[in-house]
Amino acid sequence: MMSRQAFLCSLGSLYLFLLFVFLLMDVYARPANNSALKEKPADSKDENEILPPDHLNGVKMEMDGHLNKEFHQEVFLGKEMEEFEEDSEPRKNRKKLMVIFSKVDINNDKKISAKEMQRWIMEKTDEHFQEAVEENKMHFRAVDPDGDGHVSWDEYKIKFLASKGFNEKEIAEKIKNNEELKIDEETQEVLDNLKDRWYQADNPPPDLLLNEEEFLSFLHPEHSRGMLKFMVKEIIRDLDQDGDKKLTLSEFISLPVGTVENQQAQDIDDDWVKDRRKEFEEVIDANHDGIVTMEELEEYMDPMNEYNALNEAKQMIAVADENQNHHLELEEILKYSEYFTGSKLMDYARNVHEEF
């Protein structure tokens, strides 16, 4: 029979052996460092703080030329949009909609006119603006490490590449010494596009430094008339096939959509073309001559254009105006809740009477 001392010695040897195996496994489990500049993967939160957003709230068209599918919900719900989820309790969503209805109906006549809806759309759009301004303050601090109130292109470039997983200190040293950076082609292309936007956001006199207000224009071009023009030029450049700096209907609907592999994909493509055709013919092409100029597209893109807000209000009313009185009643909004909130309310007629 093994003595107590021998047993403890054997147990200690087993522990040391297992510890050695664990450490060995840990070493081999670590990924090899294949790049002198790459480090840990980019944190998505950090990256979102410094990259211009793909989606602009309260704007009818995205920067890549795609229509903003959530526009109606954004300008009707504002900050409350996130509260209307698909799996939310219908009864709670009805109550939220009733509260919104009462806020839009400022004269309390139990119906919403185009003018009331226009006022509400402008208010919600401004709400998105103010939210972007507040977020920009935080984002600007993230790229202005020395706190001098200005950010150079090189400072931003370093932060951007760090967000992509490059070693920030090594990148900064190489830029300081004008050394070549080994960057993949895709990242370089993004950098080149960002640099163009950076220069456009740099208000006269140009100094290649962005203050907080200019940085807001860089991240959110819809806040600046000059940057709005730049965004329009970018969209037309991407869509204009004959180089006349104007858009025909065929050019506007020719953006590549998904590869059609089945009937469902075909239906999605058909809906996409239908939406773009309707927007082109009924809204963007203001004089209905079959051509969209830069000026027309700029007016369409301007989120604070009061005429556009009124036109949008009339369109939103027309969608749900079943009794054709050019106003919206609560029952109509509840019935067409999916259009206004993205959330469908079942048994709206019965439930609305229960609420009252």
Q: pLDDT tens, 299-339?
A: 999 998 999 899 999 999 999 999 999 999 999 999 999 89
Residue 8 lies in a domain: no
Is the bond preceding 205 in cis, omega lying within 30 degrees of 0?
Answer: yes
Residue 2 lies in a domain: no
Residue 29 has pLDDT above 50, yes or no: no
Stronger pLDDT, 292 or 234, i.e. the higher one: 292
> What percentage of residues in the chain have a pLDDT greater than 70?
78
Q: What is the pLDDT of residue 136?
A: 92
Residue 21 has pLDDT above 50, yes or no: no
Indicate the number of domains in the chain: 1
Residue 234 lies in a domain: yes
**CA angle at 170 for the pair 34 and 184, rounded to the nearest 5°:** 50
Residue 30 lies in a domain: no
Residue 344 lies in a domain: yes
| Residue 135: partners with Cβ closer than 8 Å, 6 or more residues away | none
Residue 270 lies in a domain: yes
Which of 138-147, 169-178, 295-304 is the least confident region?
138-147
- Report the interhelical angle of 90-104 vs 114-143 (nearest 10°): 110
Residue 41 lies in a domain: no
Domain with 223 in it: 68-149+210-351
Q: Give the integer Cα–Cα distance in Å for 205 and 191.
A: 23
Residue 263 lies in a domain: yes
Bridge partners of residue 291, in order along the sequence: 248
Q: pLDDT tens, 214-244?
A: 999 999 988 888 899 998 998 999 899 999 9
Which pTM value belongs to this model? 0.74
